[in-house]
Chain A
Amino acid sequence: MSAVRIRGVGKRYTTATGETVTGLSPVSLSIEPGSFISIVGRSGCGKSTLLRLVAGLEQPTAGAVEIDGAPVAAPPDSVRYVFQNYAESLLPWKTVRENIRFGLRHAYALEGREADPRQWDAVIEEKLAEVGLHGISGRYPAELSGGMQQRVAIARALASRPRILLLDEPFSAVDALSRAKLQDLLLDVWRSHGLTILFVTHDIDEALYLSDRVIVLAPGGKGIEEDAPVTVSRPRDQIETRAHETYLNLRGEILHRVLQEGAPA
Chain B
Amino acid sequence: MTAERTLPLPGLASAPRPNFAWARHYLRSRAFGWTLVALMLVAWQVTASAIFMPELPSLSAIGAEWVLQMREGELAPALLETLRVAAIGYAIAAVAGITVGFLMGRVRIIWAMAEPFVELLRQIPISAILPLLILYLGVDDALRIVIVVIVASFPILLNSFAGARSLSRTMRLTAETFRLSWWQTQVEIGLPAALPYILVGMRQALAMTLVMAVITGMLAGNSGIGYFILEAQQVLNVRALFAGVLTVAAVGYLLNAIFLLIERRLTRWRAIGTAGD
Contacts and interface: CB of A to CB of B under 8 A. Distances in A.
Contact of B276 (A83, A106, A140, A173): A173
B133 to A, nearest CB: 39
A106 B180 contact: yes
A144 B173 CA distance: 22
A142 B273 contact: yes
Contacts of B179: 75, 77, 106, 108
Given A75-B176, A77-B179, A88-B170, A102 B275 contact: no
Interface of A: 52, 55-57, 75, 77, 79-81, 83, 85, 87-89, 91-94, 102-103, 106, 108, 140, 142-146, 148-149, 160, 173
Given A142-B275, A144-B275, 8 more contacts: A57-B173, A81-B173, A83-B170, A87-B274, A89-B174, A93-B267, A102-B178, A173-B276
A93 B269 contact: yes
B269 A89 contact: no
Contacts of A160: 178
B178 A142 contact: no
* Size class of the contact patch on chain B: 20 to 34
A140 B270 CA distance: 9
A102 to B, nearest CB: 7
Contacts of A93: 192-193, 195, 267, 269-270
B171 interface: yes
Listed from nearest, the 9 A-B pairs whose CB atoms lie closest are A146-B276, A88-B170, A106-B178, A81-B177, A142-B272, A140-B269, A93-B192, A145-B276, A93-B269
11 contacts: A80-B177, A81-B177, A85-B170, A87-B276, A89-B171, A89-B173, A91-B174, A91-B188, A92-B269, A102-B188, A145-B275
B195 A89 contact: no
Contacts of B180: 106
A57 B180 CA distance: 13
A228 B161 CA distance: 49
Contacts of A106: 178-180
Nearest to A84: B170
Contacts of A79: 177
Contact of A149 (B173, B273, B276): B276
In the complex, which of the residues B168, B174, B268 has the most CB atoms of chain A within 10 Å of its own CB atom?
B174
Contact of B168 (A88, A102, A142): A88
Nearest to B195: A93
Contacts of B177: 55, 57, 75, 79-81
Interface centre among B177, B178, B270 (most CB of A within 10 A): B177
